[in-house]
């Protein structure tokens, strides 16, 4: 009995120590995600995360949209087959070709990062992890709170257009359905509200919300939940008979369009949500309390956003002998 109790105690203490040292998250085939996974794996003093951070800093200086591109890419990758880099694969029937991914940016940025990383650490770092590390860098450089990421993912080898179209929620999805979809991915209702805060940066094309401006749900009238000022501004951006697919900032706060902050929540409370799902987030009984909390607490959003990104990045990861480390993000190794 004493021996058994002693062994149990040692195992328990060992598990605590492992958690504190590597912050592991269970993966497949006995391998786990962990912070600083690539430390010591590239030879010399190469710090992959620092290499990526430096390149992202340069990108943002010339292309502020880099921040929203990588946040959106993270979501669109992880919700289809898990976080496996499948969205990067080129081809006529791949996820990139799905209507829901129309106009998605950031692919070129990931390819540039991959090229740079391969030069200093060939064949070691997955495209999937490059996105995770790159998104963290972009978020922190745009005013978000720096957070530790877990790495050790491998890349998938399958990418199908129809799967992306079915898995990624459209901007018209009802809140209840969206919450249920996130729950299927292991994300809570609060995770859903926090992750939608990624809309504090970036834009949406007219095709994503134009029906709200002129013919909402075939009423031949605008969506009554849009503020008068926003409606007028969006109608100028997206004229009724103009087929030009212009863009509008998802966060309508002046001088905050490229910043990771809680201004988005303040805007949707003021009926300035550009997308239908944004505006419904502020009014739904299931989510409005959390929206109010985040609108009133900038530090609360900053603390929760990074945690939610880490949690999302655990969806369906490939580790161990699963998948591969792609030589090029756009194609599988043959």
Instruction: List active site positions.
Output: 76
Distance CA 125, CA 230 (A): 44
User: Residues forming the annotated binding site?
Assistant: 77, 80, 82, 84, 86, 95, 169, 199-200, 251, 261
Distance CA 295, CA 291 (A): 6
CB-based contacts of 120, cutoff 8 Å, min separation 6? 42, 46, 48, 51
Q: How far from 216 is each of 170, 211, 213, 219, 282, CA to CA, in Å? A: 15, 5, 7, 6, 18
User: Residues forming the annotated binding site for substrate?
Assistant: 169
């Amino acid at each position: 009995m004493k021996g058994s109790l002693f062994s149990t105690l040692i195992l328990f203490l060992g598990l605590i120590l492992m958690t504190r040292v590597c912050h592991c998250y269970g993966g497949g085939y006995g391998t786990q995600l962990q912070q600083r996974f690539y430390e010591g794996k590239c030879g010399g003093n190469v710090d992959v995360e620092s290499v990526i951070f430096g390149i992202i800093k340069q990108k943002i200086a010339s292309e502020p949209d880099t921040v929203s591109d990588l946040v959106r890419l993270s979501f669109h990758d992880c919700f289809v087959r898990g976080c496996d880099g499948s969205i990067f694969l080129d081809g006529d029937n791949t996820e990139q070709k799905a209507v829901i991914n129309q106009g998605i940016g950031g692919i070129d940025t990931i390819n540039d990062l991959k090229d740079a990383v391969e030069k200093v650490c060939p064949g070691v770092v997955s495209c999937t992890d490059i996105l995770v590390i790159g998104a963290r860098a972009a978020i922190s450089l745009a005013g978000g709170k720096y957070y530790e990421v877990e790495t050790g993912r491998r890349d998938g080898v399958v990418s199908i257009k129809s799967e992306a179209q079915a898995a990624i929620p459209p901007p018209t999805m009802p809140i209840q359905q969206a919450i249920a979809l996130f729950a299927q991915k292991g994300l809570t209702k609060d995770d859903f509200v926090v992750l939608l805060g990624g809309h504090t940066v970036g834009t949406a094309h007219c095709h994503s919300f134009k029906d709200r401006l002129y013919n909402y749900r075939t009423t031949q009238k605008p969506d009554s939940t849009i503020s008068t000022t926003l409606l007028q501004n969006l109608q100028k951006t997206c004229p009724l008979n103009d087929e030009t697919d212009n863009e509008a900032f998802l966060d309508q706060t002046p001088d905050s369009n490229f910043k990771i902050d809680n201004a988005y929540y303040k805007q949707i409370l003021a009926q300035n949500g550009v997308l239908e799902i944004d505006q419904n987030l502020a009014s739904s009984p299931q989510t409005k309390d959390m929206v109010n909390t985040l609108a009133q607490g900038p530090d609360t959003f900053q603390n929760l956003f990074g945690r939610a990104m880490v949690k999302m990045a655990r969806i369906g990861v490939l580790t161990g002998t699963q998948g591969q480390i792609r030589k090029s993000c756009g194609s599988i190794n043959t």
